[in-house]
Structure 1
Amino acid sequence: MSTSADTPHLPPRRAPAAAVAGLIADCLAAAGLARADAETVAALMAEADLTGADGHGVFRLPQYVRRLRAGGFNRAPAITVTRTAPATALVDGDNAMGHLVVRRAAETAIDIARETGVAWVGVRRSNHAGSAGLYAEMPTHHGMVGIYSAVASANHMAVWGGKDLLLGTNPLAIAVPTGAGPMVLDMATTVVSYGTVKKHTLQGLPLPDGWLVDRDTGEPITDPAKSANGLLLPIGGYKGAGLSLMLGLLAGVLNGAAFGRDCVDFNADDVTVTDTGQFVAAIDIDRFVGRDRFVAEIDRHLADLRASARLPGVDAIRLPGDRRRDCRAERSAAGIPVPAALVAALDGVAAELGVTPLFGR
């Protein structure tokens, strides 16, 4: 993969979402994934880019291709769903690409919640699935609340006060329907996701103070070249570390999936099965206040929040999902920004696989 040392610092180029999805699908298929599966993954990755989750979109393509070709992903998985109780199920991903597994889990949660009002679907033998918000949002299109979490695909954090890499960025996403579309909270339990660190590293950008500290000295790391020896800091100090721990237990241990020392760093290992765990929960709003009243009340309260008095220097009140929605609208019209260093990396992958490069589409 090319790095920023090889590529001038140029403004990002804009690519239509359809071109981005087409490149991803063509590359994944050329690397051995079934065409239908490649298109499913590509659509989810392009949606991550559209909604501003740049560390989980086309940026991940070189890594995914490398792992597919190395045999780290099962190219022809048999994903199975076991209904374990009226409101619960367990999805075995058979080491498929995580996007395929978690999409199945979300669809299962929606189907079960239609029957029972609430559903909790656990996942094991999965892989990195990209942006958490994608899967929390899916139930909202069916009049439901969606919740998603995962054991991150590498450990980049320590238990509070420790320095061993035993916890991940373990994300949490919660989505509710509103009159303006889904309101999605999508957050890592660390100050920043590791994908964002990787983006900075690729482009040679300095890391802001407060993201990582050196594992040996505890001093801040701002040089992206030294990020491999860093610990990501949790949100809210010990509270974020505690939240990462509990989400990891629910997404990992509860499902019989990897957690803690058993997690495989898929950034460094393209072959070993990761056994990633995730879960999706869905809540049918009609079983409570009813979706029309719920949405009306949500909109009323959001209006109150946006109209609240602001602190000095604050130009507007921003709520979860605002940037995501605005970003999607802007990028749908203007295209997805692709930094020069990433263009070079993607061109290399396309040439290697014999597919049309991004800006040749």
Structure 2
Amino acid sequence: MSATPLPAARADGPQPAPVLVDFIVRALVAVGLPPEDAATVAKLMVEADLTGADAHGIFRLPQYIARIKAGGTNVRPSIKVNRSAASTALVDGDNAMGHLVMSRAAETAIEIARENGIGWVGAHHSNHAGPAAIYAAMPIPHGMIGIYSAVASANHMAIWGSKEMLLGTNPLAIGVPGGASGPLILDMATTVVSYGTVKKHVLLDKPMPEGWMVNRDTGAPITDPAESKQGILLPVGGYKGSGLALMLSLLAGTLNGAAIGKDVIDFNADNASVTNTGHFILALDISRFVPLELFQREVERHVADLKDGETLPGFGTIRLPGEQRAERRRRRAEEGIPLPDELLAKLDDLARQLAIAPLGA
């Protein structure tokens, strides 16, 4: 059977998702990933772009390739799952691409929840795995709630009142099945903005809003992306955000024998060292509490109440978690994924380094 032909790449403007998947697969295979693993990673990376997490999609490819070429990531891993009890498991990622580790962890959590109602799966010896929402959403088609967190792959935040960066942007994502309007998916960093978004502003030389970062020596706001390396990301909600980041570090890191605090390797600055990134994912079978259809009807009823509520002056329509994500995915699947010229130039340079056809070929 012949493979489905790719849609045509575009000379400019948004690129079809399958074209990006194909390019990522070719790049990863060129540095040693087996084609099947490369395909899994590529699909998850492009899913990030489709849903609008642009700082975690193909934008990350040059960084991933640099780590692989430096020996910082294992391209031929033996990922192992240890079922430690009826409802728990620990995945040893063997320093694989984080997407591969978390795919296995999510599959395991869903399988355990199907058997026992709830599955909590930790992971260690992993790497950066892209946006949190991708994994929190995986249990949803199975009639389950998904909860995901990770220790970020670099420390860019301090505990409240300190200037020593010993906490990451540690994300938290929760996915809940909904009714006709679709699922609710919350994906938030514990900082005001993710560091990936800062990196995108650096690439585009685009000023950052005040309130994202402060200078770690003076406490003054940083808006010039060129000064971001001198900055600390601010936690969401002040001391509450840094406290939440700490607790998620303990759940995703310490509980799994993974790195937190001073043990975290900054994968932005060090391509060769093993990061031992930690994650956890929880899958919860809704039918163990109430019938799934009843739960979805109730979610839909409450969503309608929230959407129909009066707005404050200056606000338009009410937005709920995941609402724009679903619409953006639909639009980008039809129209293509926008890529800045600066990113296209980096991807063309990467293609030359790897001796593969460029993105538009």
SS state of the match for residue 264, structure 1?
coil
Residue 138 (structure 1) aligns with: 138
* CA–CA separation in structure 2 for the residues paired with 1:277 and 1:243: 16
Quote the offset at 1:254 in angstroms. 0.4
The alignment status of 1:353 with 2:351, answered yes or no, reads no
Q: Deviations over 1:212-248 (max 9, x none)?
A: 0001000001111110110000000000000000001
Residue 18 (structure 2) aligns with: 18
Contact (CA 8 Å) 1:15, 1:358: kept in 2 or not? no
Residue 156 (structure 1) aligns with: 156
Quote the offset at 1:25 in angstroms. 0.9
* CA–CA separation in structure 2 for the residues paired with 1:286 and 1:334: 37
* CA–CA separation in structure 2 for the residues paired with 1:359 and 1:206: 30
> Alignment RMSD, CA only?
0.8
Matches within 5 A, 1:1-361: 13-179=13-179, 180-360=181-361
* CA–CA separation in structure 2 for the residues paired with 1:133 and 1:343: 25
Contact (CA 8 Å) 1:47, 1:57: kept in 2 or not? yes
* CA–CA separation in structure 2 for the residues paired with 1:256 and 1:181: 36
* CA–CA separation in structure 2 for the residues paired with 1:181 and 1:35: 33
Question: Percent identity, aligned pairs only?
Answer: 62
Q: Deviations over 1:246-282 (max 9, x none)?
A: 0010000000100011000001100100000000000
Instruction: Output the amino acid matched with 1:283.
Output: L
Contact (CA 8 Å) 1:206, 1:222: kept in 2 or not? yes
| Aligned structure 1 segments of 4 or more residues deviating by more than 3 angstroms | none
* CA–CA separation in structure 2 for the residues paired with 1:291 and 1:348: 49
Instruction: Output the amino acid matched with 2:260.
Output: F
TM-score by length of 2: 0.96
* CA–CA separation in structure 1 for the residues paired with 2:291 and 2:167: 38
Return 5+ residue gaps in structure 1 as ranges: 1-11
Quote the offset at 1:59 in angstroms. 0.2
SS state of the match for residue 337, structure 1?
coil
* CA–CA separation in structure 1 for the residues paired with 2:33 and 2:13: 28
Instruction: Output the amino acid matched with 2:198.
Output: V
Q: Deviations over 1:68-101 (max 9, x none)?
A: 1111100100000001110000000000000000
SS state of the match for residue 279, structure 1?
strand
* CA–CA separation in structure 1 for the residues paired with 2:95 and 2:291: 38
Q: Deviations over 1:176-195 (max 9, x none)?
A: 11123332100100000000
* CA–CA separation in structure 1 for the residues paired with 2:13 and 2:152: 30
* CA–CA separation in structure 2 for the residues paired with 1:144 and 1:290: 11
Q: Deviations over 1:35-80 (max 9, x none)?
A: 1101100000000000000000000000001111111100100000
Quote the offset at 1:13 in angstroms. 2.6
Instruction: Output the amino acid matched with 1:98.
Output: G
* CA–CA separation in structure 2 for the residues paired with 1:69 and 1:316: 47
Quote the offset at 1:31 in angstroms. 1.2
Quote the offset at 1:326 in angstroms. 1.1
Contact (CA 8 Å) 1:212, 1:230: kept in 2 or not? yes
Give the aligned length: 349
Instruction: Output the amino acid matched with 2:38.
Output: A
Instruction: Output the amino acid matched with 1:60.
Output: R
Return 5+ residue gaps in structure 2 as ranges: 1-11
TM-score by length of 1: 0.96
* CA–CA separation in structure 2 for the residues paired with 1:339 and 1:125: 33
